[in-house]
């Protein structure tokens, strides 16, 4: 009876030792490999009597697997969604601004067209001539407008100076009434000091013929300095 008991005890001890040896060896191998589940020397996962995998306690938390998890659900990676392609940008050509061209224009207006003889009040024909001139300024950005009045040599020098000043003042006032900036208009009377005719061309006493001959001297010169818009 004692012998039988001893044999059973010895057999159980040997079996436990073998199991512990297997577990120890598996644990040693597991520690070396740093795996989540315990496996034996053949690489098979060691399971308990209930079919559960043994967790080594080493490495990362055990991942779910069909071998060790009865509720295992295979992981399906979500589809890769490519970012929507941006619509091609429409390239809009920039229109260059209109070019500016320096301009200097000079216009001579016949005083006999602008005024009656020996007068400084604008005639209807004179206003029409100035309207045409102001219309030309629409495509010009004027910096300075110079209006110079002139008279012929008939009469005294003092009288002719005052008459030229009065006439050019009338021209300036009319241009301002048509929208031209007053500050851009420089006006001056030159009297009889800058004639166009020569003395030998218009000789003799005062007469209708002489008055007609001296007509080019009775004038208003207008000069514009600015820029023109080139389209």
- Mean pLDDT lowest for which of 26-35, 45-54, 180-189? 26-35
Model confidence pLDDT, tens digit, residues 117-148: 888 889 898 899 899 888 888 878 888 899 99
What is the model's pTM? Answer: 0.54
The domains located in the chain, with CATH, are: 1-75 (no CATH), 99-230 (3.30.1330.60)
The answer, yes or no, to whether residue 1 has pLDDT greater than 50, is no
Question: Chain centroid to CA 36: how far?
Answer: 63
Fill in the DSSP letter of residue 51.
Answer: S
Give the pLDDT confidence of 167-203 residue by residue, as tens digits: 999 999 999 999 998 998 999 999 999 999 988 889 8
Written as one string, the DSSP assignment of 87-121 is PPPPPPPPPPPPEEEEEEEEEEEEHHHHB-TT--S
Q: Which residues of 176-189 are buried (b: 16+ CB within 10 A; e: fewer)?
A: eeeebeeebbebeb
Q: What is the pLDDT of residues 69-80, one digit of tens each?
A: 666 666 667 787
Contacts 24+ apart (CB under 8 A), 62-65: 62/36, 62/37, 63/36
Dist CA 149 CA 71 (whole Å):
111
Structure tokens at 60: 């990362």
């Amino acid at each position: 009876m004692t012998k039988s008991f001893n044999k059973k005890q010895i057999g159980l001890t040997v079996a436990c030792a073998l199991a512990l040896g297997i577990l120890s060896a598996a644990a040693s191998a597991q520690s070396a490999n740093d795996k989540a589940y315990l496996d034996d020397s053949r690489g098979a996962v060691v399971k308990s009597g209930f079919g559960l995998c043994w967790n080594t306690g080493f490495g990362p938390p055990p991942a779910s697997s069909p071998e060790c998890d009865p509720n295992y659900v295979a992981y399906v990676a979500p589809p890769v969604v490519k970012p929507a392609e941006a619509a091609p940008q429409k390239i809009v050509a920039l229109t260059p601004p209109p070019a500016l061209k320096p301009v200097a224009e000079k216009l001579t207006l016949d005083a006999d067209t602008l005024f009656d003889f020996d007068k400084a009040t604008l005639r209807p024909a004179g206003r029409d001539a100035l309207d045409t001139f102001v219309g030309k300024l629409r495509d010009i950005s004027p910096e300075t407008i110079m209006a110079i009045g002139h008279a012929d040599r008939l009469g005294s020098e003092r009288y002719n100076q005052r008459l030229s000043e009065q006439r050019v003042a009338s021209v300036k006032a009319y241009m301002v009434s048509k929208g031209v900036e007053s500050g851009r208009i420089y006006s001056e009377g030159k009297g009889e000091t800058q004639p166009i005719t020569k003395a030998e061309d218009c000789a003799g006493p005062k007469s209708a013929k002489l008055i007609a001959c001296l007509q080019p001297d009775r004038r208003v010169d207008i000069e514009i300095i600015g820029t023109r818009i080139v389209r």
